[in-house]
Amino acid sequence: MNDNGRGTTESTRLWLAALRGLARGFTYPDAGWVATLLDGQWPEALAAVLEPLGLSAEGVRQAIETLPEELEMALQALQVEYTYLFINAVPHVPAPPYASAYTGQGLLMGEPAEAALVAYRQAGLALAEDYRDLPDHVAAELEFLAWLGEQALAAQESGDEEQAGWYLAQQKAFLSQQMRPWLPAFCRRVKEVARLPFYRELACLAESLLSVDLDQTFSEESKL
Partner 1 sequence: MDESPALLTRRQFLKLTGAAGAAALLGGGLTVFAPAPTYAAPEEDGILYGVCDVCTMGCAFIAHLRNGRIVRLSGNPKDQIAQGKMCVKGYSGIRLLYDPDRLKYPMKRTNPEKGIGVDPGWVKITWDEALDLTASKLKEVRDAYGPQAIVVVGRPSAWNKHFARSIGTPNHVAHINTCYSTHEVIWRAMVTGKGKPWTADYEEAKYILAFGWDGMGKSKNHWGRAVNIARANGAKLVVFDPRLSITAAKADEWIPIKPGTDLAVLLAMIRTIINEDLYDHEFVANYTSGFDQLKAAVQEYTPEWAAGISEVPAETIVRIAREFATTKPAVVAHHKRDAGGPNYTNSWRTAQCFVILDALVGSIDRPGGHILGRKPHLPAFNEVFQFPDYPESCHGPRIDGLEQFPILLSLNKGSFSTLAEGILSQTPYPVKAMVVTKHNLLAFPNPPRLVEALKTLDFIAVSDILPSEMVQLADVVLPDNTFYESSGLVAREYHAMYPQVALREALPALYDTRSFSNIALNILKRMGLTDYVPEGMSGKAFMEAQLAALETTVEAIRGNGGLWGEERPFEPKTEFGTPSKKIELYSTVLEQNGYDPLPRWEEPRARVSDQYPLHLLIWRKPWERMSQSQNDPILAEFCPENYATMNPALARKVGVGEGDYVWVESPVNKIKVRVHLTEGIRPDCVAVDHGFGHWSPGLSVAYGKGANDGDLVPNLTVAQQLEIGCPAMATAWEDVAVKVYKA
- The one among 69, 92, 162, 221 contacting partner 1 by CB under 8 A: 92
25 vs 168, which CB is nearer to partner 1? Answer: 25
What three-state secondary structure class fits 182?
coil
Contact in structure between 122 and 6 (CB atoms under 8 Å): no
Stretch that binds partner 1, among 115-123, 163-171, 177-185, 198-206 (CB under 8 A): 115-123
Can you tell me the distance from the alpha carbon of 75 to that of 77, in angstroms, rounded to the nearest whole number?
5
Minimum separation from the CB atom of position 108 to partner 1 (A): 5
Judged by CB under 8 A, the residue of 3, 39, 66, 107 near partner 1 is 107
Residue 79 engages partner 1 in binding (rule: CB under 8 A): yes
Judged by CB, which is closer to partner 1: 52, or 184? Answer: 52
- Each as own residue / partner, the long-range contacts of residues 54-57 (CB below 8 Å, 24 or more positions apart, any chain) are 54/223, 55/18, 55/205, 55/208, 55/209, 57/205
Binding range to partner 1, per CB under 8 A, among 66-74, 76-84, 177-185, 201-209: 76-84
Distance CA 113, CA 118 (A): 9
Residue 182: Cβ within 10 Å count: 21
Residue whose C-alpha is closest to residue 22's, from 179, 192, 224, 173? 179
**Per-residue contact track with partner 1, 6 to 45, x per CB under 8 A?**
----x--xx-xxx-xx-xx--xx---xx--x----xx-xx
Site for partner 1 in 121-180 (CB under 8 A): 121-122, 124-129, 131-134, 137, 139-140, 143-144, 146-147, 150
Task: Assess 51 for contact with partner 1 (CB under 8 A).
Answer: yes
Contact pick of 93, 168, 175, 187 for partner 1 (by CB under 8 A): 93
Asked if 113 is part of the footprint of partner 1 (rule: CB under 8 A), the reply reads yes
Q: Does the footprint of partner 1 cover residue 87 (CB under 8 A)?
A: yes
CA angle 179-173-148, nearest 5°?
Answer: 85
CA distances from 20 to 41, 45, 49, 90 (A): 15, 11, 11, 30
Binds partner 1 (CB under 8 A): choice among 120, 174, 198, 199: 120
Provide, rounded to whole angstroms, the least separation between the CB of residue 133 and partner 1. Answer: 6
**Residue (134 or 168) nearer to partner 1, CB:** 134
Per-residue binding string, partner 1, 183-202, x by CB under 8 A, is: --------------------
What is d(CA 107, CA 125) in angstroms, rounded to the nearest whole number?
25
91/77 Cα distance (integer angstroms): 18
Return the amino acid letter for 49: V
